[in-house]
């Protein structure tokens, strides 16, 4: 019996090792493991950035290639002379919709009437200005846009203290266009090829001008023609 009790004591749960004693704590991760994990994460990040940059570069190159293909097509479509008609005198120029190209300017004639100030604001809202006439050729260009109508249109000419000045701050040249009436406050109008003056509060249509978009550059010969036309 004593032998049986001794055998029983050997199997008593209190004498068995605990789970913690059976499974020792894991050893800490070596420092070089952490270095490798960090380096791997950074490598993946760099790879992701390179993939994104490559996709952006491919997209930009494709867009540039498309633009290089489209631009010559636009030049051929808009700038190639039809039949025996000569090309534009200074390269190929484009005007906004509803504007008319005459010489070196785009012109727009209003459909409504108003005073001079309203006309000027309408032009400025379209990134343009009331017409400023430099020579007889420009006057003929404006006349072709107005259709030689028998009524006056506002131009960019105004009198302040009896001195006539264009809206670009250049003085009016009476030797070129004739002497105008002296008015303390007045605004310029154009009727056909004749400049006249009126009270600025009167109602007239107005004509705006702006520079065209240069689609193709002028050649050396065109530049010479342009200089001759501007004198």
What CATH number does residue 172 fall under? 3.10.100.10
Say which range, 68-77, 102-111, 134-143, 211-220, has the weakest mean pLDDT. 68-77
Quote the tokens at residue 58. 């491919």
| Tally of structural domains, the chain | 2
The answer on 120 and 207 residing in a single domain is yes
**Are residue 100 and residue 181 in the same domain, yes or no?**
yes
Pair 128, 209 in one domain = yes
Q: Are residues 98 and 148 in the same domain?
A: yes
Domain-embedded: residue 17: no
Strand (E) positions, 45-122?
A: 92-94, 100-102, 105-109
Identify whether the C-beta of residue 116 lies closer than 8 Å to the C-beta of residue 106. no
Domain-located, residue 42: yes
- Flag whether 140 is in a domain: yes
pLDDT at 26: 60
**Mind listing the pLDDT tens digit for each residue in 160-219?**
888 899 999 999 998 888 888 877 789 999 988 889 999 999 999 999 999 998 877 655
**pLDDT value at position 75?**
66
Same domain? For 121 and 178 the reply is yes
Residues 128, 56, single domain; the answer is no
In a domain, 1, yes or no: no
Percent of the chain with pLDDT over 70: 66
69 and 97, same domain (yes or no): no
The answer to whether position 13 is within a domain reads no
Residues 70 and 146 in one domain: no
Average pLDDT over all residues of the chain: 78
Residue 3 has pLDDT above 80, yes or no: no
pLDDT of residue 229: 45
Indicate if the pLDDT at residue 101 is higher than 90: yes
Closest CA to 140 of 111, 176, 102: 102
Task: Read off the pLDDT of residues 122-152 as tens digits, 9 standing for 90 and up.
Answer: 999 999 999 999 998 999 999 889 886 778 9
- Asked if residue 40 belongs to a domain, the reply is yes
199 plus 133 within the same structural domain: yes
**Same domain flag for 72 and 102:** no
Residue 93: closest CA among 111, 109, 74: 74
Q: Which residue has the higher pLDDT, 27 or 50?
A: 50
Average of pLDDT values for 29-40?
A: 74
The pLDDT value given to residue 102: 92
Category of 147 on φ-ψ map: left (φ > 0), alpha (ψ -120 to 50) or beta = left
Which helix (H) or strand (E) segment holds residue 206: the answer is strand 205-210
Q: Is the pLDDT of residue 114 over 70?
A: yes
| Boundaries of domain holding 57 | 32-77
Among 61-75, 93-107, 173-187, name the one with the lowest average pLDDT: 61-75
Band (pLDDT 50/70/90 cuts) for residue 81 is low
Which pair of tokens denotes residue 188?
A: 């310029």
**Section 20-26 average pLDDT:** 57
Within-domain flag for 53: yes
pLDDT at 87 over 50: no
Q: Is residue 230 part of a domain?
A: no
Closest CA to 116 of 191, 207, 209, 181: 207
Of 8 and 94, which is predicted with more confidence? Answer: 94
Same domain for 181 and 148, yes or no, is: yes
What does the alpha-carbon distance between residue 134 and residue 176 come to, in Å, rounded to a whole number?
9
Residues 205 and 144 in one domain: yes
Q: Name the β-bridge partners of 195.
A: 190
Three-state secondary structure call for residue 66: helix
């Amino acid at each position: 019996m004593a032998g049986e009790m001794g055998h029983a004591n050997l199997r008593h749960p209190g004498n068995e090792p605990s789970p913690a004693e059976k499974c020792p704590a894991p050893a800490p991760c070596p420092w070089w493991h952490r270095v490798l994990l960090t380096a791997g994460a950074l490598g993946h990040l760099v790879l992701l950035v390179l993939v994104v940059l490559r996709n952006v570069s491919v997209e930009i190159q494709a867009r540039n290639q498309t633009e290089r293909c489209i631009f010559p097509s636009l030049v051929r479509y808009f700038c190639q002379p039809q039949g025996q008609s000569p090309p534009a005198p200074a390269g190929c120029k484009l005007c906004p919709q509803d504007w008319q190209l005459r010489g070196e300017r785009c012109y727009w004639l209003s459909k409504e009437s108003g005073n001079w100030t309203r006309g000027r604001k309408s032009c400025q809202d379209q990134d343009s200005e009331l017409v400023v006439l430099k020579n007889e050729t420009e006057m003929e260009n404006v006349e072709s846009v107005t259709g030689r109508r028998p009524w006056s249109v506002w131009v960019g000419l105004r009198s302040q203290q009896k001195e006539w000045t264009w809206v670009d701050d250049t003085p009016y040249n009476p030797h070129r266009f004739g002497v105008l009436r002296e008015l303390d406050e007045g605004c310029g109008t154009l009727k056909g090829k004749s400049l006249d003056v009126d009270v600025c509060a009167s109602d007239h249509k107005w004509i705006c001008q702006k520079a065209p978009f240069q689609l193709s550059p002028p050649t050396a010969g065109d530049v010479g023609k342009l200089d001759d036309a501007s004198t």
